[in-house]
């Protein structure tokens, strides 16, 4: 403790008088509480520091868990985006054939599809999915391979897929 006091005095942060007063207060306090009281104070301080350290560890663990959860969500979102963009059949909605399907909310919606896209949907070689904002429009047509992967990741966005009818 005297090393710290000497360093503070040499740095000019405390005067010799303040050092003497601090030493005197410590001696008076030590004589008032006795050796057993000093030990209890040290034990209480050690216990307080342990509790503070444990609280910090819990906060750090919670922060790390939250960061891992966010990272996993971001990776899942990125993977879904790549599946939708990669499986998107752009020319499918360039037709005049109206294809109706049910949305997640139970409302009936439609896409204007080409004849080829309508055949692919009927044969199970394509599917209609919600775009989740990754491509233009609310719904799009994707390949059956993309639909299978999307079903594993987020089955609730798969709106129509005649999977079992493919050759």
Domain finish residue from 74, 100, 120: 74
Interatomic CA distance for residues 150 and 162, integer angstroms: 14
Residues 11 and 38 in one domain: yes
Domain finish residue from 74, 106, 131: 74
Task: Confirm whether 80 is domain-assigned.
Answer: no
Task: Confirm whether 79 is domain-assigned.
Answer: no
Domain finish residue from 52, 74, 96: 74
The pLDDT score that the predictor gives to residue 15 is: 85
Task: Confirm whether 83 is domain-assigned.
Answer: no
Give the DSSP H/E element, type plus range, for residue 130.
strand 126-130
Task: Confirm whether 122 is domain-assigned.
Answer: yes
The pLDDT score that the predictor gives to residue 22 is: 85
pLDDT truncated to tens, each residue of the chain (167 aa)?
Answer: 567 878 888 888 888 888 888 888 888 888 888 888 888 889 999 999 999 999 999 999 999 999 999 999 999 999 999 999 999 998 988 888 998 989 988 899 999 999 999 999 999 999 999 998 898 889 999 999 999 999 999 999 999 998 765 44
The pLDDT score that the predictor gives to residue 164 is: 63
Residues 92 and 143 in one domain: yes
The pLDDT score that the predictor gives to residue 165 is: 58
Residues 109 and 141 in one domain: yes
Report the domain count for the chain: 2
CB 70 within 8 A of CB 77: no
Task: Confirm whether 81 is domain-assigned.
Answer: no
The pLDDT score that the predictor gives to residue 32 is: 84
Residues 106 and 160 in one domain: yes
The parent domain of residue 35 ranges over: 2-74
What is the phi-psi region of residue 106: left when phi exceeds 0, alpha when psi lies from -120 to 50, beta otherwise? left
Task: Confirm whether 50 is domain-assigned.
Answer: yes
pTM: 0.63
């Amino acid at each position: 403790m005297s090393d710290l006091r000497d360093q503070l005095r040499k740095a000019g942060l405390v005067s010799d008088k303040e050092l003497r007063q601090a030493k005197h207060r410590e001696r008076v306090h030590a004589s008032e509480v006795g050796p057993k009281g000093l030990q209890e104070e040290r034990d209480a301080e050690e216990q307080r520091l342990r509790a503070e350290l444990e609280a910090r560890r819990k906060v750090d663990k919670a922060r790390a868990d939250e960061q891992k959860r966010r990272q996993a969500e971001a990776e899942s979102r990125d993977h879904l985006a790549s599946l939708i963009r990669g499986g998107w059949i752009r020319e499918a909605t360039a037709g005049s054939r109206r294809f109706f399907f049910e949305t997640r909310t139970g409302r009936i919606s439609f896409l204007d599809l080409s004849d080829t896209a309508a055949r692919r949907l009927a044969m199970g070689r394509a599917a209609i999915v919600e775009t989740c904002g990754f491509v233009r429009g609310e719904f799009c047509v994707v390949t059956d391979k993309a639909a299978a992967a999307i079903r594993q990741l987020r089955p609730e966005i798969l709106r129509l897929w005649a999977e079992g009818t493919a050759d």
